[in-house]
Amino acid sequence: MTRILAAALACAIAYARIADAHQLDEYLQATRIAVEHDRIVLEMSLTPGVAVARQIFASIDRDGDRQISALEAEAYSLSVLRDVVLEFDDRPLVPALVRAEYPAWPELRDGLGTIRLEAAAGVPIPRGRHHLRFVNHHRSDVGIYLVNALMPSTSAISIRAQQRDVLQHGIRLELDRAAAYVSAVWIVFPLVGVAALVLIRRPAARR
């Protein structure tokens, strides 16, 4: 657990440094992966530098009116997700778009705007060891990438190992879900203790 926390801290520091230092001609794409008991959630932040902002905006604003309509936002979001590979135990998953937030053109033009996407793929995680693989290929001509895994939302699931490629296009996670009875033990033991305490005190009260 200590190693995992240390790795997460190192990734957070690296994320901050790269986010602050990314070049004007780069498209910074950061992905955070959340593992839940019945789904995988992707949180993506995409920030184009000033030099590529017009190019990126043009690929979103298809009618050229300097406004991003709901249909244009959805179309671009889905194109991003099509460039993503998500696999659970070597089985491909198709993440569905949950939420999309787009900044106004002036923010993007000045290199200050960030596109924020959330997508999720439903997959039950049975007990035992599993592996999850994620790769982002979106706009590899100008993109730079960051990827990190969030702490699982349930204590029954733990991340045993994380492996990233050098450019952080992708990550492979080794997951472990504990058997249901392991979690139940921590509920049963206190109840047994309380019951025993009540039985011990009852004879004492009668005296």
Output the CA–CA distances (angstroms, integers) from residue 49 to 19, 21, 23, in the order listed.
11, 11, 7
Distant-in-sequence, close-in-space partners of 4: CB < 8 Å, separation ≥ 6: 159, 162
The DSSP line for 12-72 is HHHHHHHHHH--TT-EEEEEEEEE-SSEEEEEEEEEE-HHHHHHHHHHH-TT-SS---HHH
Alpha carbon distance 99, 77 (integer Å) = 9
pTM (2 d.p.): 0.76
- At 22, the pLDDT band (50, 70, 90 cuts) reads low
pLDDT of residue 191: 47
- For residue 2, pLDDT over 80 is answered with no
For residues 85 and 92, the answer to whether their CB atoms sit within 8 Å is: yes
- At 8, the pLDDT band (50, 70, 90 cuts) reads very low
pLDDT of residue 201: 52
Worst-scoring range by mean pLDDT, 14-18, 87-91, 135-139, 175-179? 14-18
Alpha carbon distance 29, 33 (integer Å) = 13
Instruction: Report pLDDT digits (tens) over 158-172.
Output: 999 999 999 999 999
Q: What is the mean pLDDT of residues 191-207?
A: 47
- Of 118 and 12, the one with more pLDDT: 118
Instruction: Let me know the angle formed at the C-alpha of 143 by 174 and 60, rounded to the nearest 5 degrees.
Output: 110
pLDDT of residue 164: 95
Instruction: Report pLDDT digits (tens) over 86-135.
Output: 999 999 999 999 999 999 999 988 888 999 999 999 999 999 999 999 99
Identify residue 147 by its one-letter amino acid code. V
DSSP 54: H
- For residue 75, pLDDT over 50 is answered with yes
Distant-in-sequence, close-in-space partners of 194: CB < 8 Å, separation ≥ 6: none
pLDDT of residue 4: 44
DSSP 103: -
pLDDT of residue 144: 96
